[in-house]
Amino acid sequence: VETFDMMPLSDAVESSLVLRPAPAPPIPVLYEDDELLVVDKPPHLPVNPEAERELSLLEKVREQCAAPELAPLHRLDAGTSGVCLFAKRRAAVSELAARLAAGQKHYWALVRGGLRAKGIVRAPLRDAGKTRPAITRYTLLARLAGHALARVRPEHGRTHQVRKHMAAIGHPLLGDARYGDAASNRYFEHRYGLDRPFLHCGRIELAPRDGAPALAFECALAPDLAQVLAQLRAA
């Protein structure tokens, strides 16, 4: 920091500060064995490479873990954080994907307005050009400043399933520019710095392999979302 007196007749002293970006931190690894790699995905990073984005989670983890055959077992939206699973070998993709499909995913979501203690959304969704069945279950965790924090469990893996289903019952995710409420999103971005959908994959359970126990992976709420909750609770 360098100080200088831009206005000599005033009581103020000005300062010049130069900031340079530090190297990006490594992706946190939650679990690893010969076939499976589980990481804590940060927000604003797509799982697969996209033309309009410089990097992807797949590319970063391949380089970080020296795993050239790494393949994603599921997809989280770029704006979603949390548990993300990869197969380390292409030969393991089929079995691991089947165990994931037979397991469970648990998301934490902050939605607009009040919410019942628990509920089920049954509404088919368009996915890959076809209308497919989709069921989502939710449980209320807390009421905060007129909104609701919920644990959401989709029984299917349709594109944007959680975001679409919560919007369909009148409780869109806060920060969701595509399916959410524009006025609420603007307020939460200005007041709490929420610049993405409030959606975090906090736990994934893999169905057990024959003769082996089931596996479950968890990660804490992403820091930016935790900060939003802290401010809401302090209001």
Q: Report residue 181's pLDDT band, with 50, 70 and 90 as the boundaries.
A: very high
Instruction: Name the H helices within the chain.
Output: 57-65, 93-101, 161-168, 182-192, 223-234
- Please say if the pLDDT value at position 87 is more than 90: yes
Of 77, 176, 181, 224, which residue is the catalytic one?
Answer: 77
Looking at every residue in the chain, the average pLDDT score rounds to 94
What is the structure's pLDDT at 2? Answer: 86
Split at pLDDT 50, 70, 90, the class of 4 is: confident
In angstroms, rounded to a whole number, what is the distance separating the alpha carbons of residues 175 and 185? 5
The verdict on whether 176 is a catalytic residue reads no
Q: Containing H/E element for 128?
A: none
In the block, tokens 């949390």 appear at 82
Picking from 51, 47, 52, 95, the residue whose alpha carbon sits closest to that of residue 72 is 47
Partners of 9 in beta bridges: none
pLDDT in tens, 185-206: 999 999 999 999 999 999 999 9
Longest dimension (CA), the chain: 81
What letter represents residue 233's amino acid? R
> Under 8 Å CB-to-CB from 68, ≥6 apart: which residues?
62
Give the confidence band of 180 by pLDDT, cuts at 50, 70, 90: very high
CA 1/CA 85 separation, integer angstroms: 43
Whether the predicted pLDDT of 38 surpasses 80 = yes
Mean pLDDT over residues 92-121, rounded?
96
